[in-house]
Amino acid sequence: MKIYSTKDYDAMSRKAADILASHVILKPDCVLGLATGSTPIGMYKQLIEWYNQGVLDFSLVHTVNLDEYRGLAPTHDQSYRYFMQHNLFDHVNVKPENTNVPNGLAADPEAECARYDQVIDSLGGTDVQVLGMGHNGHIGFNEPADHFPLGTHVVDLTDTTIDANARFFATRDDVPKQALTMGVKNIMQSRHILVVVSGADKAPIVKKAFFGPVTPQVPASILQLHPNVSIVADEAALSAL
């Protein structure tokens, strides 16, 4: 586990972009595992800037995203597909058919999860998986539980998550109640894990996840068992260490 400490959010974004860009440069047909959320937005902005400067070429890159809300269309502005289009895909030359996000509208979500696992397998797994981390240590939508879910699966969102997300929707009832997410096995099979964390509010969970016991009650703690993890965090997020 390598920890890169940066001064602030901008420097964290730049360092994380350096690492992701190095994958694209060294292996132009690499498979990038991507995340949504607020933390990686600055990293995606930096990648777009380098693409515009001619430094990066995404024409052979494939992407697989961690998760998607069940029931949201790709055009819904809170869907993770929309997020990815808006924050990265629409601005670089990645081929639309090479980008993968679970289909939140699939009539049979279990079959969609099985299909998604096959997509990841058929690509030979991910070269790097970007992860943000929730305050309770969740990765993807793998919330604290009594076991580590393995493959892509459907999750019931907790009341806390629904409450936290309600601000993005017209009413609380509009917040999706389920999501499709890669499991911990999908994540752990990535050849490199890139965790991005920012802000003092994440400091306690950084300490717990990376220096506490490995337990499904803190899903990110499993990353301690991965042989190639890079944590890029600003000083505030590392302030509890």
Residues that bind ligand F6R (CB under 6 A): 35-39, 66-67, 132-134, 138-141
Catalytic residue, chosen from 143, 186, 192, 234, is: 143
Residue 49 among the catalytic residues: no
209 neighbors 137 (Cβ within 8 angstroms): yes
Residue 110 among the catalytic residues: no
d(CA 177, CA 175): 6
Cβ burial of 213 (10 Å; 0-12, 13-18, 19+) is: exposed
Position with the least CB separation from ligand F6R: 132
Please identify, using beta-carbon distances, which residue of 60 and 178 lies nearer to ligand F6R.
178
66 neighbors 35 (Cβ within 8 angstroms): yes
Residue 174 among the catalytic residues: no
Catalytic residue, chosen from 23, 62, 65, 67, is: 67
Please identify, using beta-carbon distances, which residue of 29 and 159 lies nearer to ligand F6R.
159
Catalytic residue, chosen from 23, 62, 112, 138, is: 138
Residue identified by tokens 């009539």 is: 107
Q: How far is the CB of 53 from ligand F6R (least distance, A)?
A: 26
d(CA 44, CA 30): 16
Residue 67 among the catalytic residues: yes
Catalytic residues: 67, 136, 138, 143
